[in-house]
Structure 1
Amino acid sequence: MTTVPRPLALLALAPLLAPLGACAPGGAEGASDTADDGPAELVVEPRTSGTSQLLQAVSPAGDGVVWVSGHGGTWGRSTDGGLSWTTGVVPGADSLQFRDVAGFDARRAVLLAAGTGPMSRLMRTDDGGATWTETFVMDHPDGFLDCMAFVDDRRGWAYGDAVDGGLYLLETRDGGAGWSRVPASALPEALESEGGFAASGDCVAPDGEGGVAVATGNGSRPRLLRGSGEAEWTALDLPLTAGPAAGATAVGFGADGFAWAVGGAIGEPIEGPRVALSSDGGASWAAASDPAIEGPLYGGAHISGVDPESLVVVGPGGIAWSPDGGGAWTAVHDSSHWAVAFGDDGRGWAVGPRGRITALRRVR
């Protein structure tokens, strides 16, 4: 059964519902070609993961290291730029859904499991996945973690659906070895039923200014929460489809003020924008042209080092990309993918059902 992402308030609608994910390139295939001598294309190439589980997140860690995570307690790692993969199951965790992963290097990574109450957990490895240490178990019976992001190998945040009328955000300052809750009083007031989508792991992202941005959904309007341990947290509305089981699923920040947010309606079809763009670092937003694939968008990623930024989005309808930062779109794959990420060399990966890993390469 294919899992559908969704916030805590919708848990009764389906046995598996909530998104996460991210990834990194490298390997012997060479760097992407960004010369100005012809139209750009996005090349897609299937990879063998070694697992049949739904993969929901991917994270680049530099030097050809890429981490992935998924259902059935599954984690995976490549050390050759995604050409080959090692996958495994965390002992005793085969009932958990690892909907996000953050990789720091070939040895260090953090996993986020999404689920109600104690099914939401955080784990860390310091030996390349040989052993995992549980560092947090959800401390609220109705809590539901959605995604996480690190601004460096020490400071990070994990976001979850609102509980008891307050936003839920965890913070770590030691690389995920320990977590503490950000007081709800320090955060903007939660909208009714506001939460996140544990679809790609990208509903939290570094904002390029030392803090993070959180994309929310399921409330009366999608919002972008933004702040850090030192700065006041603020909230800004996003021009995306709104309502129950709708809103923003992922957000990201590129160079020169370029930022993007994606989403849609996860449940019943709802007409409305699925991509929003910013040219001023997230201070203001406008709806973008509609991508060339159907259904909600679970994740997105920009390709670093390209001007204007190229943008790739994924969802149950496949993979679409825009070489001009969200102006025009082309569908490049029609199979379901849940998460996508690119490394600094312009190469990326998208992951999805049945252990699917698709390598992405921008060429001219």
Structure 2
Amino acid sequence: MRWITGIVAALLVVTTATTAAAAPGPTWRLHPTGSDARLRGLSAVSPLVAWASGSAGTILRTTDGGRSWRQVAPPNAAALDFRDVQAFDALHAVALSIGPGDSSRVYRTEDGGKSWQQTQTNADPNAFYDCMAFFDQRHGLIVGDPVNGRFEVLSTDDGGRSWQVLPDAGMPEAQQGEAGFAASGQCIATSGGQDAWIGSGGGAQSRIYHSTDRGRTWHETATPLPSSASSGVFAVAFRDPRHGVAVGGDYSAPMTGSAATSQDAGRSWQASTVSGYRSGAAWLLGNAVVAVGPNGSDLSLDGGRHWRQFDTGSFDTVSCPTPVTCWAAGEHGRVATLMP
């Protein structure tokens, strides 16, 4: 209860202070990892257990709250870029590498990274995996950039041991240039047992795709976030099947950020403003949401309608496994936990 009271009080200070300088607010506590990789994948399981993944074949794991980290990546993976990881506990995790052709792969471990099974290798030279999300320990989805004019979605129902490319008949046609951003492992989100959302950019409009049947059919909605080759929706997060946030901006102009909120499962979106380009977002306590990017972190207490920057450090992704536990990761091996 003391931790909950502290974080609530800190969040209230951030949102009610008249100036950013007057708001001590919460802070990120850095945990040295011994790595210089850019960590765009992050899956926190608890206050003690977290997995982070990224460039140069990096997959890190801690079981002591970030005091020590071990490189647990598969052997001979130094050329791979692990942009996403999904951990279920200290032993079981699924890692996604991205890139053209067979650089897009999926690995699974059941022993904390001592051994890995390569469970999916992309054989299509036109495909490019972007991000991954699970509904539960068995059911998950991977989304890849459009192939033949439609986003590619892969599905697993056995915890990532095997994957199937879903038929694209239920996927709307993509716009010219439209794609997902593999910036944080958060261009796809799930809530409950059936609902999933994909965020996009690069086309004439940024869009959110919503599925209510675990990825078999999708409906698209335009968002107010600007869209270009370097801008759009970079992360989408849902607190429950109705309430969601989308964050993004332009990675080539990191001081420019944008966001939107939905209260109807993603059928409509209302614009809001973050303090800069944000590539990751996660729900914390109640209506509190945290968003991170290369030039800082923002917090909202009202479900993403209003934001206030509380940190200027660089992070790419964020994961909050409990209402009062939040981790962030980014460039040069940076990993931190949120402190009140």
Q: Report the TM-score when normalising by structure 1.
A: 0.83
Q: Which residue of 2 aligns with 1:101?
A: 85
Q: Which residue of 2 aligns with 1:297?
A: 278
Taking CA–CA contacts closer than 8 Å with sequence separation of 6 or more, which of the two structures ends up with the larger relative contact order? Answer: 1
1-structure distance, mates of 2:75, 2:307? 42
- State the superposition RMSD in angstroms: 2.3
Q: Which residue of 2 aligns with 1:151?
A: 135
Instruction: Answer whether contact 2:261 2:305 (CA < 8 A) is retained.
Output: no
Matches within 5 A, 1:352-363: 352-361=330-339, 363=340
- TM-superposed deviation, 1:352: 0.8
**Structure 1 residues 192 and 35 mapped into 2: Cα distance closer, same or farther (>3 Å)?**
closer
2:65 counterpart of 1:81? yes
Amino acid paired to 2:251: I
1-structure distance, mates of 2:7, 2:75? 47
- TM-superposed deviation, 1:343: 1.8
1-structure distance, mates of 2:321, 2:302? 19
2-structure distance, mates of 1:209, 1:135? 23
Instruction: Answer whether contact 2:156 2:164 (CA < 8 A) is retained.
Output: yes
2-structure distance, mates of 1:177, 1:127? 14
- TM-superposed deviation, 1:148: 0.4
- TM-superposed deviation, 1:341: 1.2
Matches within 5 A, 1:92-131: 92-131=76-115
Name which of 234, 250, 255 aligns with 2:219.
234
1-structure distance, mates of 2:2, 2:306? 27
- TM-superposed deviation, 1:211: 2.4
2-structure distance, mates of 1:35, 1:181? 42
Matches within 5 A, 1:275-290: 275-288=259-272, 290=273
Three-state SS of the structure 1 residue aligned to 2:89 is coil
Deviation beyond 4 Å, 4+ runs, structure 1: 34-38, 268-271
2:324 counterpart of 1:346? yes
Matches within 5 A, 1:249-264: 249-255=234-240, 257-264=242-249
**Structure 1 residues 33 and 86 mapped into 2: Cα distance closer, same or farther (>3 Å)?**
farther
Instruction: Answer whether contact 1:50 1:87 (CA < 8 A) is retained.
Output: no
Matches within 5 A, 1:38-53: 39-40=12-13, 41-53=25-37
2:14 counterpart of 1:33? no
Q: Report the TM-score when normalising by structure 2.
A: 0.89
2-structure distance, mates of 1:279, 1:62? 28
CA offset digits 1:197-245 (Å, max 9, x no partner): 0011011111335221111111111111121347632111111111222
Three-state SS of the structure 2 residue aligned to 1:336 is coil
Name which of 147, 162, 166 aligns with 1:163.
147
- TM-superposed deviation, 1:37: 6.3
CA offset digits 1:75-118 (Å, max 9, x no partner): 11122333432223321110000000000111110001011111
1-structure distance, mates of 2:8, 2:99? 46
Structure 1: which 5+ runs fail to align?
Answer: 1-28
1-structure distance, mates of 2:72, 2:266? 38
1-structure distance, mates of 2:333, 2:255? 29
2-structure distance, mates of 1:269, 1:321? 17
Instruction: Answer whether contact 1:314 1:340 (CA < 8 A) is retained.
Output: yes
2-structure distance, mates of 1:270, 1:125? 38
2-structure distance, mates of 1:253, 1:165? 27
Q: Which residue of 1 aligns with 2:21?
A: none
2-structure distance, mates of 1:250, 1:240? 12
1-structure distance, mates of 2:170, 2:163? 17
Q: Which residue of 2 aligns with 1:322?
A: 300
Instruction: Answer whether contact 1:42 1:321 (CA < 8 A) is retained.
Output: no
Structure 2: which 5+ runs fail to align?
Answer: 14-24
**Structure 1 residues 210 and 256 mapped into 2: Cα distance closer, same or farther (>3 Å)?**
closer
Q: Percent identity?
A: 35
Name which of 241, 245, 266 aligns with 2:251.
266
**Structure 1 residues 287 and 86 mapped into 2: Cα distance closer, same or farther (>3 Å)?**
same
- Kindly tell me the number of residue pairs found equivalent between the two proteins: 327
1-structure distance, mates of 2:314, 2:41? 13
Q: Which residue of 2 aligns with 1:172?
A: 156
Three-state SS of the structure 2 residue aligned to 1:274 is strand
CA offset digits 1:340-362 (Å, max 9, x no partner): 1112141211111111012113x
Instruction: Answer whether contact 1:31 1:345 (CA < 8 A) is retained.
Output: no
1-structure distance, mates of 2:253, 2:7? 43
Structure 1 stretch displaced more, 166-175 or 183-192: 183-192
Three-state SS of the structure 1 residue aligned to 2:201 is coil
